[in-house]
């Protein structure tokens, strides 16, 4: 008799608990749901085929951004108004989290196939994983259908430079996958709204050009009576900084978006065919080995060894009609192309310029270091 009573009581408690859970789970996929009795499932293609990440692109710089607009919606049928929480999860992270703790997205940047390139995924400016509260069938006291269209629009994939970049290929299969769920707060019932993964590949190029030393002979000049007058100059001598055997500059995408079926990438609100991206750039900076008293005028000092000329400096400027090259400041060089092994020239010219009221004769030598900035 005692055993039968215990069994009877346990069955009664179990039935009451099951009945309560069934009553409080109030939402599910509606008959009108575009993906049937299940979530939206999509494979997101990587749009850029090749990007070039210059050696001097700063850490934390976004080198590729792809924004994907998912076409489709989810219809949920609920018994009444339901308070819920929507979660943006990364259920699969094939290569794990990177050690990046800088800006942006500190602690939420994941490794890719390419050393030095990490990836973060955001929605409405918030990095994933994340969550937010929402209300389904707001204000309803009876059965209703709630259509959700913007729960994943837009998904933004941001590739960040997080270290020294080695040329390689980013595979879509190596990137984190995305799952979006909505959980009813009262019952804990969870419904998956969408599941997304990346496909395709992006080739990453990172290389530099060969840059030999450039000797420039400014010639010999007569001082005359020992004074030439303020800012008196000698004729210009033209020369080129030659950059040879350069990599193909395929560009990097400052911003791209794609929408299912359009076959377009839009960069800074201007659309272009898929596969194109923002152009790379070359900048150069001139740093004098012996200083400069007039950096904004592009004038460098002589080496000052014993017996050297005094009262003059060397001015460096662009070709005829061009402006002086400010000392110690990066300025843009030639445009670059996607041709591998190309050669580019930075045309410049130099001359002596009187910087003091009196000039004394002697050797007038100087050295300038040039730095090429690849972005």
32-89 confidence digits (pLDDT tens): 998 889 998 888 888 777 888 887 888 998 888 888 777 778 999 998 889 999 999 9
Together in a domain, 35 and 170? yes
Q: What is the mean pLDDT of residues 148-163?
A: 83
The share of the chain scoring above pLDDT 90, in percent, equals 45
pLDDT band at 24 (very low <50, low <70, confident <90, very high): low
> In this structure, are strands 312-317 and 110-111 parallel, antiparallel, or unpaired?
unpaired
Which residue would you say has higher pLDDT here, 371 or 189?
189
Question: Is 12 a member of any domain?
Answer: no
Residue 17 domain-assigned?
A: no
Q: At residue 258, does pLDDT exceed 80?
A: no
Instruction: Assign 228 a pLDDT band (cuts: 50, 70, 90).
Output: low
Taking 50 as the threshold, does the pLDDT of residue 132 lie above it?
yes
Predicted local distance difference test score (pLDDT) of residue 7: 36
Judge whether residue 6 has pLDDT over 70.
Answer: no
Average pLDDT over residues 137-152: 81
Which DSSP string corresponds to 282-330? Answer: EEEEEEESS--SBGGGTEE-----TT--BSEEEEEE-STTPPB--TTS-
Flag whether 314 is in a domain: yes
**Helix residue ranges per DSSP H, the chain:** 2-24
Q: Provide the pLDDT confidence category of residue 106 given band limits of 50, 70 and 90.
A: very high
61 and 153 part of one domain:
yes
Q: Confidence class of residue 207 from pLDDT cuts 50, 70 and 90? A: confident
Burial tier of 339 (Cβ tally within 10 Å: 0-12, 13-18, 19+): exposed
Q: Is the pLDDT of residue 244 over 50?
A: yes
Q: What is the band of 277 on the pLDDT scale with cuts at 50, 70, 90?
A: low
Contact 155, 258 (CB under 8 A): no
Is the pLDDT at 265 greater than 80, yes or no? no
Q: Is 218 helix (H, G, I), strand (E, B) or coil?
A: coil
Question: Domain for residue 109, yes or no?
Answer: yes
pLDDT recorded at residue 259: 47
The rounded distance, in Å, linking the Cα atoms of 29 and 150 is 17
Partnered with residue 267 across adjacent β-strands are 270
Predicted confidence at residue 231, as pLDDT, reads 65
CATH of the domain at 352: 2.60.40.1090
Q: Which of 189, 205, 221 marks a domain boundary?
A: 205
Residues 294 and 159 in one domain: no
- Asked, for residue 13, whether it belongs to a domain, the answer is no
Average pLDDT value for residue range 186-210: 89
Read off the pLDDT of each residue in 217-230 and give the average, rounded to a whole number.
Answer: 71
Q: Quick one: pLDDT at residue 130?
A: 93
pLDDT score recorded for residue 49: 77
Q: 34 and 170: one domain? A: yes
| In a shared domain, residues 195 and 243 | no
56-60, 176-180, 188-192: range with lowest mean pLDDT: 56-60
Specify whether 286 is located in the same domain as 191.
no
Q: What confidence score (pLDDT) does residue 337 get? A: 83
The verdict on residue 184 lying in a domain is: yes
Q: What is the residue range of 113's domain?
A: 25-205
Look at residue 160 and tell me if it is in a domain.
yes
Residues 6+ apart with CB under 8 A from 208: 55, 246, 247, 372, 374
Name the more confident of 143 and 96.
96
Closest CA to 349 of 329, 323, 331, 313: 323
pLDDT above 70: residue 200? yes
Please give the tally of structural domains in the chain: 2
pLDDT at position 17 = 39
Please report the sign of the dihedral spanned by the C-alpha atoms of residue 353, residue 357, residue 360, residue 366.
negative
Mean of pLDDT values over 196-205: 89
Instruction: Confirm whether 222 is domain-assigned.
Output: no
What average pLDDT does the segment 314-331 reach?
91
Q: What pLDDT was estimated at residue 230? A: 60
Cα separation of the two ends of the chain: 85
């Amino acid at each position: 008799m005692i055993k039968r009573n215990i069994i009877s009581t346990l069955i009664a408690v179990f039935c009451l608990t099951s009945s309560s859970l069934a009553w409080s789970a109030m939402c599910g996929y509606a008959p009108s749901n575009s993906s049937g009795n299940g979530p939206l499932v999509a494979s997101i293609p990587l749009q850029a085929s090749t990007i070039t990440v210059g050696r001097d692109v700063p850490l934390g710089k976004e080198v590729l951004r792809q924004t994907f607009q998912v076409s489709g919606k989810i219809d949920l049928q609920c018994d009444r108004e339901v308070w819920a929480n929507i979660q943006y999860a990364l259920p699969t992270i094939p290569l794990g989290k990177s050690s990046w703790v800088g800006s942006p997205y500190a602690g939420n940047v994941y490794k890719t196939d390419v050393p030095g390139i990490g990836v973060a995924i955001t929605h409405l400016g918030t990095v994933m994983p994340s969550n937010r509260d929402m209300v389904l069938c707001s204000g309803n006291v009876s059965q209703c259908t709630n259509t959700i269209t913007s729960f994943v629009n837009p998904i933004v994939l941001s590739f960040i430079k997080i270290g020294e970049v080695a040329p390689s290929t980013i595979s879509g299969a190596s990137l984190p996958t995305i799952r979006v769920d909505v959980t009813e707060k009262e019952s804990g019932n969870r419904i998956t709204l969408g599941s997304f993964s990346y496909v395709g590949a992006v080739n990453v190029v990172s290389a530099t050009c060969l840059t030999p030393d450039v000797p420039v002979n400014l010639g010999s000049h007569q001082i005359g009576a020992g004074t030439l007058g303020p800012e008196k100059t000698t004729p210009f001598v033209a020369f080129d900084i030659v950059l040879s055997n350069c990599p193909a500059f395929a560009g990097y995408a400052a911003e791209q978006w794609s929408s299912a079926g359009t076959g377009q990438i839009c960069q800074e609100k201007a659309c272009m065919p898929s596969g194109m991206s923002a152009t790379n750039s070359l900048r150069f900076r001139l740093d004098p080995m012996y200083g400069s008293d007039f950096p904004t005028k592009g004038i460098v000092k002589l080496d000052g060894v014993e017996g050297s000329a005094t009262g003059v400096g060397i001015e460096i400027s662009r070709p005829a009609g061009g402006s002086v090259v400010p000392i110690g400041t990066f300025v843009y060089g030639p445009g670059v192309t996607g041709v591998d092994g190309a050669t580019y020239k930075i045309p410049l010219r130099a001359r002596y310029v009187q910087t003091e009221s009196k000039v004394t004769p002697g050797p007038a030598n100087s050295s300038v270091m040039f730095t090429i900035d690849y972005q």
